[in-house]
A and B are shown apart, each in its own frame.
Chain A
């Protein structure tokens, strides 16, 4: 019998711990992401989501544990590991005084795309995010929602195998938020992209998503939505999340 080679997991996080000085931020975090699925990293503010993202994107040095992206260990093979990543950071990171086109071309060149490849990809992505015809517009003139769309396009420029979104809906209106979450799920379903979506908003999680619940730097639950709801003895994910992450002080209040 011939053994079929399995594609590498899009993201494997193994036994990661991290501290800011003496203050622990993450404690023994491990998980694998199922390919072609959206996994919601659900946690309240301060749970450690952004710290985890900073470790996965190589902005922080992973001193304890290991991050492997698309089969490439981040510590030993940084360039190959980061080549597989598309990232939307929590804070907006576009150059305000450059146009959409200039912003995207800058990033495309950083990722190694040729001018021709960049142009084709930018044209296609601007249509996909509904901003075609605005490529010569300065980012400063765009609304918050439009800027976020451009950041999503930027993250997709280099056909990433793994898309990371760190609380991408922060500060967005409802319509843009809906578009964003729908678009992300379409990317997973139609293009087989693996997505890790950090959020503290339960309504951004779809029934078919995998969920990792992070609280105070620890994973308190992981699995499919149904399983998490059942394990918490809750009626829905919102209630399960509240039970898992409500701390003594909050309960007392």
Chain B
């Protein structure tokens, strides 16, 4: 693989994703409105109902809106990862996946480039959300938000890999939309995104244990700790492992040996 060719191809895939994103104004709008509703409406209600003790990485009492921001960042990336996968299923049905995968570059490189492009689109949404949250009065450390960038690449790739894995095994667009809903909401609610896990344990030990098995919990915690410039090696390890497992499974799912993801019979 020639590096010049590979670089040009990556930027072509990235700019195509960006153009698509910019043309779908509703997608950008909903990507921002969804977490902002949580931040404005739910945080206002939960602030009174939910007491937060001082837990790492926080060194002092925090308000609920501050607590929930990393979870909402994770939510943006979770939705974006699924959206990216949905568009891959769409591409497959419309045939443009055939165009991509019949180009003279390694298939794994093309799929990783597609994943990374979707991740960059999600990062734009994340920073747009963070800026609005700060304008609305949520206090967040700016240095930590800048340091969060490489972590967002990792977490975005992980959630994209999960989505790509699903898209490689689900043949029809309609089925994928159903699976997305079935997956997104349990992943989001059964995590530390909205409430600390110790609160969950008080309510139900079983659900607490399910939250510990949910990789999205570690995505959120990795983002949370990074914003406050604290290490969380366990979260990092689990997120990397999740990325590798789902990334490899997705690449296997898209191998031509399965005759599947780009399949379409004709004459």
A residues at B contact (CB < 8 Å): 20, 25, 43-47, 49-51, 54, 57-61, 63, 78-83, 85, 87, 89-95, 97-98, 102, 105-107, 109-114, 166-167, 198, 200
Contacts and interface: CB of A to CB of B under 8 A. Distances in A.
A79 B1 contact: yes
A166 B98 CA distance: 13
Tell me what chain A mostly uses at the interface: helix, strand, loop, or mixed.
loop
A58 B259 CA distance: 10
Given A47-B267, A50-B265, A106-B12, A87 B102 contact: yes
B263 interface: yes
Contacts of B13: 110
B257 A114 contact: no
Contacts of B1: 79
Nearest to B8: A109
Tell me what chain B mostly uses at the interface: helix, strand, loop, or mixed.
helix
Given A89-B95, A90-B267, A61 B256 contact: yes
A109 B102 contact: no
Interface stretch (B16-24, B66-74, B133-141, B223-231): B16-24
Contacts of A78: 104, 106
B264 interface: yes
Given A49-B267, A102-B19, A59 B102 contact: yes
B104 A20 contact: no
B255 A51 contact: no
B255 A61 contact: yes
A111 B104 contact: yes
B105 interface: yes
B2 interface: yes
Contacts of A113: 8
Given A110-B9, A110-B12, A82 B264 contact: no
Contact of A58 (B11, B23, B95, B102): B102
A102 B13 CA distance: 11
Contacts of B20: 95, 97
18 contacts: A20-B259, A43-B267, A45-B267, A50-B264, A54-B264, A57-B102, A78-B106, A82-B104, A93-B99, A98-B16, A107-B99, A110-B12, A110-B99, A110-B100, A110-B103, A112-B8, A166-B267, A198-B267
A59 B101 CA distance: 7
Interface residues of B, number: 37
Q: Which 8 A-B pairs have the closest CB atoms?
A: A50-B266, A109-B12, A112-B5, A93-B95, A82-B104, A61-B256, A61-B257, A91-B95
Given A54-B263, A57-B98, 18 more contacts: A43-B267, A46-B267, A51-B266, A79-B1, A81-B104, A82-B103, A85-B102, A87-B99, A91-B266, A97-B19, A98-B16, A109-B8, A110-B9, A110-B99, A110-B100, A111-B103, A112-B9, A167-B267
Interface string B57-70: 00000000000000
A60 B265 CA distance: 11
A237 to B, nearest CB: 18
A83 B12 contact: no
A67 to B, nearest CB: 12
B181 interface: no
A89 B105 contact: no
A80 B104 CA distance: 7
A40 to B, nearest CB: 13
B4 interface: yes
Nearest to A79: B104
